[in-house]
Amino acid sequence: MKVIQFLPNLESGGVERGTLEIAKALVDAGHESHVVSNGGRLVAQLEREGSEHHAWPLHRKSPLTLLQITRLRAWLRSMRPDIVHVRSRMPAWIVWLAWRKMGRAHRPKFLTTLHGLHSVSTYSSIMGRGERVIAVSNTAKQYLLDNYRNIDSDRIQVIHRGTNPTAFPRGYQPNSTWLQRWFNDYPQLADKRLICLPGRLTRLKGHDYLIRLIQQLKARGYDDISGVIVGGADGSHEGYIQGLHTQIERLGVGNDIVFTGYRDDMRDIYAISSMVLAVSNKPESFGRTVLEPLSMGIPTLGFDIGGVGEVLATLYPDGRLPMQDDAALLQKATRILDGETQEIKENTSFSLDNMCQQTLGLYTELLVDGSP
């Protein structure tokens, strides 16, 4: 098979991770893998693992991006892929508008993956227009069925995201070299128990819950606690980030919370954390930052909504919290710190192998059947 995946950028995040994982699976299975994006830090890894990257500026939410349609259609004809797989709304619109006028006899199969629970709109509806649609969770499938009545349920296949057990092994501990480098970078975290909140610095991720939790734990005598906020930021969120720093100073925990920025060593950071938080203010389609630490046996607390709730219900039911409930968060965090937590189940439900096999199987099914 020759497969082209489309997404806005290759910087960081769940969409990007999923793209690289499927690209590698294609290459490992002897297929031809191509990825179209505007570029980013993950391009080097993509190419190192055997895929070809093509730089196209399909990420801008601007009418000017529509000018790419004719050129993209010609490029697709020259590339002659078997499958085009789109993973984000703006690229999806451009690809679909180019694809639909290619002629049924010669155009590739058109596949979409719904990674996010977007605002309900015509713009978002493109993610349900694939000849087949992958939903990354039962939550994502239900979102499509609830909000876009013209989508046939039979076209939607739930393929959960997954982790590689060798990438996030249970009981893993970082080596001494990594630890020395970490504590050289953040000496204030030495001899501290860490509460980690991973994810991009956006309002959605609920960083204020971590800030309040640290303040409340300090007030209750947990003096050996520090918060670690791990995630990159872009210029559009400067006001939000400044607001977080203001809140931190106002609550008197300026010495107790560290912002690390983007990191590519999450396994090590999870391993030295006493717990991880997943407290997004809105339902998310899946919860990689819940699944990864739980796979390692690290207690993780999250609001019982969306994909985060799905993962917690399967692996760690005790980690579920009522939405926006600071008191429940404090209570359960205290129990974890006091060693009273319930057992975390082994992750046999959300594996990277299953995700890749099911996705490549769907590609093959589309080509063999010749119809959606």
Q: Are residues 73 and 189 in the same domain?
A: no
Task: Assess if residue 347 is contained within a domain.
Answer: no
The domain that holds 130 is classified in CATH as 3.40.50.2000
Q: Are residues 152 and 30 in the same domain?
A: yes
Provide the pLDDT for residue 52. 98
- Considering its fold, how many domains does the chain have in total? 2
130-162 pLDDT tens trace? 999 999 999 999 999 999 988 999 999 999 999
Q: Is 12 helix (H, G, I), strand (E, B) or coil?
A: coil
45 contacts 11 by C-beta, under 8 angstroms: no
Q: Are residues 211 and 243 in the same domain?
A: yes
Task: Assess if residue 157 is contained within a domain.
Answer: yes
Looking at the predicted structure, is the pLDDT value of residue 269 above 60? yes
CA dihedral 223, 340, 186, 216 (to 10 degrees): -40
Q: Are residues 156 and 207 in the same domain?
A: no
Q: Are residues 133 and 209 in the same domain?
A: no
Structural domain for 247, as ranges: 176-337
324-372 pLDDT tens trace? 999 999 999 999 999 998 899 999 999 999 999 999 999 999 999 865 4
Candidate from 41-45, 54-58, 110-114, 163-167 with smallest mean pLDDT: 163-167
Label residue 12 by pLDDT band (50, 70, 90). confident
Neighbour count for residue 345 (Cβ, 10 Å): 13
Q: Are residues 289 and 240 in the same domain?
A: yes
Q: Are residues 88 and 182 in the same domain?
A: no
Share of the chain above pLDDT 70, in %: 99
187-231 pLDDT tens trace? 999 999 999 999 889 988 999 999 999 999 999 999 999 999 999
Provide the pLDDT for residue 372. 45
Neighbour count for residue 159 (Cβ, 10 Å): 20
Task: Assess if residue 344 is contained within a domain.
Answer: no
Provide the pLDDT for residue 105. 85
What CA–CA distance (Å, rounded) separates 236 from 240?
Answer: 9
Provide the pLDDT for residue 317. 97
pTM: 0.85
